[in-house]
Structure 1
Amino acid sequence: MAVALMWEARAVPGRGAELLAWARDQRLDPAPERRETFTAPQDRVLVITWWPADGPLAELPEPPAGLCQRPPHRWRFTPVPG
């Protein structure tokens, strides 16, 4: 079984590229099995990481002050069998 962590933040208008660069630069320790980064309208950035369910997890830290309109949203998901 695995765990997927989702992290989503909305940048201050016009600073989406800066938030994306910041998110991409974050190195997680330990490293996830898989990591994907997405963007969406309104300067949003989404990062999804996949982890072994029985291992340690690492989450993205808080972005620098003033970069986001609100605190990032974070969710943990586990797969549902078939």
Structure 2
Amino acid sequence: MSVALMWEARAVAGRGDELLAWARAQPLEREPARRETLRAPQDRVLVITWWDAAYDAELPELPEPDGDLVTRAVHRWRFETA
């Protein structure tokens, strides 16, 4: 089974490039099958990691960035292949 973890944050206005660099530099305790980092308007950054694991498996996730870099708490979602 494949599980996708989604991590999305919104940077303080004008700091999107800094948040993007921060997200790309974050190591995980182990390597996912795949990892993608995307950006969107309003300085938003999305990281999706794919894992060969059960839906409820304990998996490493990106941390919360420093509070002065983001406008709100990180949004996180977990999906499984259908």
Which stretches of structure 1, 4 residues or more, deviate above 6 A after TM superposition?
Answer: none
Letter in 1 for 2:35: R
Matched, 1:71 2:73: yes
- Structure 1: distance between partners of 2:7 and 2:18: 16
Are 2:44 and 1:25 aligned? no
Matched residue of 2:71: which SS? coil
In structure 1, the partner of 2:43 is 43
Shift of 1:65: 2.1
Distance, in Å, in 1 between the alignment partners of 2:58 and 2:8 is 21
The alignment's TM-score, normalised by the length of structure 1, stands at 0.92
Identity value in percent: 68
Contact preservation (8 Å) 1:30, 1:56: no
| 1:57 alignment partner AA | L
CA distance in 1, matches of 2:66, 2:58: 25
Does structure 2 conserve the Cα–Cα contact (< 8 Å) formed by 1:10 and 1:45? yes
| Alignment coverage as a number of residue pairs | 80
| Contiguous gaps of at least 5 residues in structure 1 | none
